[in-house]
Amino acid sequence: MQLANNQNRPVRIYLLSEVTHLIKDALLELSGYEFWVRAHLIADKREQRSGHYYCELMDVDAAGDTIARIRAIIWRHNYMKITEKLQTLGIPDALKDNSEVCVLCAVRYHEIYGLSLDIYDIDPTFGESRINLNRRQILEKLTKEGILNKNKETYLPVASLRIGLITSEESAAYNDFTKSILGSPFSFQIIFVDCPMQGEDMEQGLVSSLQQVTQAQVDVICIVRGGGSQADLAWFDNEQIARAVLACPIPVWVGIGHEIDICVLDFIAHTSCKTPTAVAEELVRRIQELVVILKAAADQLQNIVDRRVATEEQLMERSVHGAMVGFRKQFDLAAAQLDRSMAGVRSSFEPIFINEKANILGKVQGLRDRSAWLLDTKRENFEERCNRFQLSRYLRIVADKQASLDGRVSHLDAMLPGQVLKRGYTITRDNLGQVMKSVTQIKEDDSIETQFTDGTATSVVTERR
């Protein structure tokens, strides 16, 4: 190429495509190298529908002024690989806007889009804090042992109404969770275990709490905690707690901190929600979805049953109508055949019936005559026996018996208590109304009642002889 200000030679005008080809040729050897670059990553704010990740890498000096800036691209297959790696290591926000990164790059030049860097990999340890390092090491260890997804594979009942809740009593997380659960129209049952959510006692407390709610046979276990500092939430990046969750045979749901907070439990739990309220809302939403599904299934079943019943009713009506027509024909045929049979039987047995009727009538007349003769004979015998009895003798015996009976009645009347009292005798009763027959039944100061023929008198015993 010639300089534009060279006056001694004729000026050559290049096509832009020739210039870009020359630049591409000059950078061709450099594009074959991969190198690590440390810079601030600035994410592209535009929606990235293609699956590629567009960003810029920027370098600043001590005063904060930009001293270098270049476009960078992570192509879709590399971006999926990098995000999966970061998720597994527990640092999914490593590619967030304005974070300092160390990335493996190569120079790329395109005739239309210009100069940029292709990013192939990222160093997750670069700029890593002690908390992130601890979290990554725990997740890497559990991943190597092949148990990272053990709790995710546990069975979650469709209607998870019996909930084991582990959190600090009367905390904001406890109130937010229970308010959302108990405010729903469903019959949730909460088995609560109080547990410290930070501090030295948290590890043993949380492991013990998991054992308690597991023995309570709940459907799901929820570990929730409100927001806090990064140091406060770092207590959840604990290997023993993680292993206790992974060993739990019941699905464990977690809602720890705010939306931007993350810990080891978020990666190993069956389900991770952003906040305690989100955990409760998700449990309620699952039941709501189940109700909708069941209602739709019930409506569908009802429609199927209604259609089946209507079809069967039509078939039955046709069958009944056909049966009635067929039965009527059979009945008419059977009735006609029966009439013919009865006529034949009647004609066959009519002479026999006439002879038997005459025979029976003769026997009835004979019985009537004999009965009349027997009645006359018995009547004559009865009248003869009656004449033998002497009525006067029996009347005299009855009169003697009556006189004897009257004498006994007079004697019994004289022995009645009322008649005895009239002769001057009295009846003495104690305060219970019992008749006293012996002086031994009386004690001094007892109250006694004496009955005369014309009344009673009450006395107090002063002396007994």
Q: Please write the tens of the pLDDT for every residue from 219-266.
A: 999 999 988 766 678 888 899 999 999 999 999 999 998 777 788 899
Q: In this predicted structure, what is the pLDDT of residue 177?
A: 94
Q: In this predicted structure, what is the pLDDT of residue 97?
A: 67
Mean of the pLDDT values across residues 264-292? 92
Mean of the pLDDT values across residues 280-309? 92
pLDDT surpasses 70 at 128: no
| Terminal-to-terminal C-alpha distance of the chain | 164
* SS3 category, 171: coil
Rama region for 73: left / alpha / beta (φ>0; ψ in -120 to 50; rest): beta
Quick one: which of 134, 57, 52, 38 has its CA closest to 91? Answer: 134
Q: In this predicted structure, what is the pLDDT of residue 9?
A: 64
pLDDT surpasses 90 at 358: no
Could you give the domains of the chain? 16-128 (2.40.50.140), 151-288 (3.40.50.10550), 373-411 (no CATH), 417-460 (no CATH)
Written as six digits, the tokens of 412 are 């019994």
Return d(Cα 278, Cα 243) in angstroms, integer. 24
Alpha helices in 269-390 (DSSP H): 276-388
Quick one: which of 291, 275, 278, 249 has its CA closest to 161? Answer: 291
Residue 114: how many CA atoms within 13 Å on its side-chain side? 3
Radius of gyration of the chain (CA): 58
Q: In this predicted structure, what is the pLDDT of residue 321?
A: 83
Return d(Cα 247, Cα 154) in angstroms, integer. 10
Band (pLDDT 50/70/90 cuts) for residue 48 is low
Quick one: which of 39, 108, 30 has its CA closest to 73? Answer: 108
